[in-house]
Amino acid sequence: MGKRAKIVAIALGMLVGLGVAAVLFLESAWMRGWLEDQASEQLGRRVEIADHGIRWGLPLTLELDEVRIANPDWAETPDLARIDQLAITLDVGRLLRGEIELERVALQRPELLVLRRDDGSTNLDDLMDGEPTQEQEALLWPEVFVIEQGALSFRDEGQAIALEVAFETPGESTGALSLRLQGEGEVQQDDVQFQAGAQFDIEERRGAVEDFVGQLGDSRLEGALAFDLGAESPQLAVRLHGDTLDLDRLGLMPGPDEEDAAQPDDPEAGEWDRGLAQVLAELEAIEAELDLALERLHYGGQSLHDLEAQAAVSQGRLTIERLQAYQATDEEGARSLWAQGWLESQDGRLAADLSARFERIDLTAALAPFGLGEIGTLDGELNLQRVEEGLVFDDTRLDYEAPQWELSLSLRADSVEREGEPRVHLVGDGRYAGEPLPSTCTSGRCSTLPTMRLPIRWPGS
C-alpha cells in the first residue's frame, strides 16, 4: 500500500471512529440526562426519560421511551403526563444550518391527568404562564402529527366532575391537528357520554369541535364550536341543540349573591339604556354567532323551556334573528317571549330596531341571575326604534306591572308626524309612586310624562 493510500485509510478510519463516538455519545445515558434537564428547565417540572435512541438516516428521528412529566407538589398523583413513546422526526438539512424544524411528531399511548381545585386553579396553570410567541409556536408545531391511543382524565372534586376521554388522530394529521374524541364519566352524579371530532391549527390560531353528540343524564345534546383567534377580531361560533341543559348543576351560572340582588339606591340608575349600551360596547372587539335550541334550560335558579335563539355579534351590533322562550306555565297559562331585531351602542347610548311580543313575561325571574333585582312583569307587543332624535314606535301596546315601584302602566304608542316633525303618540293610563300618569300625550320626547327613576342596575355598573 502506498503512502498516500495509507493516509487516506487513516483519515477514513478516524472519521468512522469519530462517527461511532458521536453515535455512542448521542445515545448515551449522559445525553438522556441532558435531555431530561433541558425539558425540565423549559417546563418548570421534573421530566424523566426511561430510554432514548436515534433512528439514523434521512430524515433523522429521535425516539424517547416512557416519558414522564411531574405534577405540582399539591397533586396527590405524581405524574401530570406519561407517554409510552415519543418519536420526533427532524429536517436534517435545516438542522445542519443550525435550524430546528419538526417534520413529524408521533405519540404512542399518551396519558394526561388534569386536576382542578376548588379555587379554580389547575395542575396546568404554571405551564401556561407567559404565552409563547408565534415564532416559538410555529417552531414547535410539526408538519405531521400522529397520536395513537391517547387518554385524558379530568377531575374536579368541587364540582363533582370526573371524565375519561380517549383521543387519537385519524391516521396522519397534516397541517392542522385533527383528533377523534370519545369520552365518558360523571358530572354532578349524572352519567356523561360523548363523541366529537376536533381540529386545531396553532399557526393560524384557530380550531373547531365538530359533530359533537353527547348524553348528559337523560338529556341528549349535539352541536359544534369554531373559533379563530388569529383574525383581526376574535371570532366564535357556537351551535347547541338538545333536550335539557342545567347550567346550575354544571356550576356555570350561579344565582346572584345578596349584594348583587339588593335594590340599588343610586338615583342615576334610571339611565337604563346607558347600562345596556355599555354591555354592548364591550362586544365590539369580537365577532360571534349563536344557534341554540333547547327543550329546557335551567340557569341561576330559573328555568326556560322551548328555547330557540339565533343571534350574532358583529362590529358591536347584536342582531337577534330569532329569540323565543317560555317560562313555567301557571294557572293563567304560559308566559312567553319572542323577539327579533338589533341593538348596538352609539356614542354611549342605546340604538335599536327591535320587535318583541311578551305574554305575561316575568322579567324579575328571567333576569334574576344577573342581579337586576325586582323588575316586574310585561305583556304586549313592542315595535321600537331608538335613533338619534329619540324613540320611534309602531303599533306598540304594553301592560307593565312593578308593584315594588308602585308602578302600573298600560300604554299604546305610535309614531306620528305633526307639523312636519316626527312625534310619539301615547295613549294609556297608570300610576307611579301614587301619582296618576297622563292618559294621552303627543310630543317629540313626550316630556309631559313624569320622570321615573327606576333602580335597575346593569352588571358592572
Amino acid at 26: L
Phi, psi of 42 (to 5 degrees): -65, -40
Which has more pLDDT, 92 or 59? 59
CA 3 – CA 11 distance, rounded (Å): 12
Range scoring the smallest mean pLDDT among 84-88, 101-105, 380-384: 101-105
CA angle 321, 326, 331 (to 5 degrees): 155
End-to-end C-alpha distance for the chain, whole angstroms: 95
Q: What is the pLDDT of residues 160-188, one digit of tens each?
A: 899 999 999 998 888 789 999 999 999 88
Q: What is the pLDDT of residues 301-355, one digit of tens each?
A: 888 999 999 999 998 889 999 999 998 766 666 789 999 999 887 777 778 899 9
Q: Are 25 and 107 in contact (CB under 8 A)?
A: no
Amino acid at 194: F
The confidence score (pLDDT) of residue 25 equals 41
Nearest to 423 by CA among 398, 405, 450, 447: 447
Mean pLDDT for the stretch of residues 241-248: 90
Burial of 274 (0-12, 13-18, 19+ CB in 10 A): middle
pLDDT at 247 over 90: no
| C-alpha cell belonging to residue 187 | 358530572
CA 67 – CA 108 distance, rounded (Å): 11
Chain centroid to CA 249? 18
Q: What is the pLDDT of residues 43-56, one digit of tens each?
A: 888 999 998 888 87
The confidence score (pLDDT) of residue 218 equals 86
CA 149 – CA 169 distance, rounded (Å): 9
Could you tell me which residues come within 8 angstroms of residue 357 by beta carbon, excluding any fewer than 6 positions away?
Answer: 336, 337, 338, 339, 380, 381, 382
The confidence score (pLDDT) of residue 65 equals 92
| C-alpha cell belonging to residue 336 | 312567553
Q: Are 407 and 456 in contact (CB under 8 A)?
A: no
Q: Which residue in this structure is represented by grid cell 380550531?
A: 207
DSSP codes joined into one string, 229-262: SSSSS-EEEEEEEEEEEETTTTTSSPPP-HHHHS
